[in-house]
Amino acid sequence: VNVRQLKEAKTNLTDGQNTKVTGDGSKNNPYKVNVEGDLNKITSITNNEGDGKLEFKGDQVVNVAGDNTIKLDGKTGDITGLTNKTLDSADFATKG
C-alpha cells in the first residue's frame, strides 16, 4: 500500500435502519448521518446501566423500568406500578 492508495481509500457509509447518510466523505462534503422521522423497531431506550429504561413492549404498552417499574398501557388507559396511590387532591386524575 502506498500513499496514493491510502489517499484514495474511502470509508463507505450506507443508510441504516432509521438513519440516512448524506455527503461523499470529502473535506468539502463530509458524511452526515441523520435520524429520519419516526423511529421504528425500537424495543428500548436506556442511558447507563441502572439509570432506568424505557421499554416498548408492543400492544401499546410502555414500561418505565427501574426500582419501581411503571406500566403505561395506551390500549386500556391504565398506569400501574405507581407507589403514590393515596393522594388527597380532589382533582387527582381528572386533569389533562
Enter the DSSP assignment of 38.
Answer: S
Quick one: what percent of the chain has pLDDT higher than 90?
39
Instruction: Look at the pTM and tell me if it is higher than 0.75.
Output: no
Average pLDDT over residues 9-33: 89
87 versus 7: the higher-pLDDT residue is 7
H or E segment to which residue 19 belongs: strand 19-22
Distance CA 61, CA 39 (A): 16
pLDDT category at 88 given cuts 50, 70, 90 is confident
Q: What is the amino acid identity at position 38?
A: D
Average pLDDT over residues 65-90: 87
pLDDT tens per residue across span 41-65: 888 888 888 788 999 988 999 999 9
Distance CA 38, CA 19 (A): 10
